[in-house]
């Protein structure tokens, strides 16, 4: 069983009626609900307002893959918690950053680059699969039409990705590296661009399939436990 924690700052859905209509249980509730339908996945959720943001050592030690959505309150994530998450990624916990989580403390810290991009509201997107043999692309069509999505455009301030799985094309003409993978020590990382909160993107079955595939891909093969005897000391 793959143990997933879906983390969401859970701010917009409580503040704006239109966004609450898209996600009455929160974005985390929507994602957890479709993942829970899978026999090999069990899910819990955590949000910013919980003690330690719901990401205690115990929760992270029992998490195989952490999914992260954040936007308005990136700076309110405590440094000690962001570092704790990064430490678990290095030991083998999988991490999936969604949409505006490109600018999360966790991704900026673990990837070490600016993570900046261009953006504009009000486009449509064609999400092209450019790596159909990749496990995250299993069962995914060559192109997914997203009727309304915020434009994210290049240049995207990421390190050179290890694998490029999806490229987004926007109706304004921009393109974006919309699905990219990295590894940091033992942990696998997938960043996936779709999912602006004003549009019900996470209700789309092919988007749900990509996130489900990414959970299976990111699940640890060997999870390390950081013991003093495993650490090199000069
Ligand atoms: Zn957005």
**Domain-embedded: residue 160:** no
Could you give the CA distance from residue 49 to residue 44 in angstroms, rounded to a whole number?
Answer: 15
CA of 4 to the centre of ligand 1 (A): 23
**Domain-embedded: residue 158:** no
**Domain-embedded: residue 136:** no
Tell me the residue range of the domain where 47 lies: 2-113+179-230
The burial class, CB within 10 Å (0-12 / 13-18 / 19+), for 205 is exposed
pLDDT category at 223 given cuts 50, 70, 90 is confident
Could you give the CA distance from residue 47 to residue 49 in angstroms, rounded to a whole number?
Answer: 6
Report the CATH number that the domain containing residue 80 is assigned in CATH. Answer: 3.40.50.880
CA of 98 to the centre of ligand 1 (A): 10
Q: pTM of the predicted model, to two decimals?
A: 0.96
Structural domains of the chain, count: 1
Mean pLDDT score, 100-117: 98
Could you give the CA distance from residue 188 to residue 97 in angstroms, rounded to a whole number?
Answer: 11
pLDDT category at 158 given cuts 50, 70, 90 is very high
**Domain-embedded: residue 141:** no
CA of 19 to the centre of ligand 1 (A): 12
**Per-residue pLDDT tens digits for 184-202:** 999 999 999 999 999 999 9
CA of 103 to the centre of ligand 1 (A): 11
The Cα-based distances of 168 to 122, 130, 164, 165 in angstroms read: 15, 10, 11, 10
Percent of the chain with pLDDT over 90: 94
**Domain-embedded: residue 49:** yes
**Domain-embedded: residue 9:** yes
CA of 225 to the centre of ligand 1 (A): 35
**Domain-embedded: residue 142:** no
**Per-residue pLDDT tens digits for 44-85:** 999 999 999 999 999 999 999 999 999 999 999 999 999 999
CA of 150 to the centre of ligand 1 (A): 6
**Domain-embedded: residue 219:** yes
Contacts for 205 with CB less than 8 Å, ≥ 6 apart: none
CA of 173 to the centre of ligand 1 (A): 18
Q: Which helix (H) or strand (E) holds 127?
A: strand 118-129
pLDDT category at 151 given cuts 50, 70, 90 is very high
CA of 224 to the centre of ligand 1 (A): 34
pLDDT, residue 226, reads 65
pLDDT, residue 80, reads 97
């Amino acid at each position: 069983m793959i143990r997933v924690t879906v983390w969401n700052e859970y701010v917009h859905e409580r503040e704006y009626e239109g966004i609450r209509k898209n996600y009455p249980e929160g974005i985390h509730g929507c994602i957890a609900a479709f993942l829970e339908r899978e026999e090999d996945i069990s899910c819990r959720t955590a949000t910013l307002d919980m003690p330690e943001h719901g990401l205690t050592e115990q929760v992270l030690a029992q998490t195989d893959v952490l999914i992260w959505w954040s936007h308005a309150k990136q700076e309110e994530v405590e440094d000690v918690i962001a570092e704790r998450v990064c430490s678990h990624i290095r030991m083998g916990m999988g991490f999936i950053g969604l949409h505006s989580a490109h600018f999360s403390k966790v991704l900026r810290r673990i990837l070490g680059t600016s993570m900046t991009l261009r953006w504009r509201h009000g486009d449509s997107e064609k999400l092209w699969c450019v790596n159909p043999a990749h496990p995250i692309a299993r069962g995914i069509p060559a192109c997914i039409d997203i009727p309304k999505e915020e434009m994210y455009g290049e240049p995207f301030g990421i390190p050179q990705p290890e694998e490029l799985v999806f490229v987004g094309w926007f109706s304004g003409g921009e393109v974006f590296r919309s699905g990219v993978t990295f590894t940091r020590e033992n942990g696998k990382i997938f960043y996936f661009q779709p999912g602006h909160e004003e549009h019900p993107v996470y209700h789309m079955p092919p988007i749900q399939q990509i996130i489900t595939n990414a959970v299976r891909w990111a699940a640890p093969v060997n999870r390390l436990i950081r013991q003093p005897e495993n650490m090199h000391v000069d």
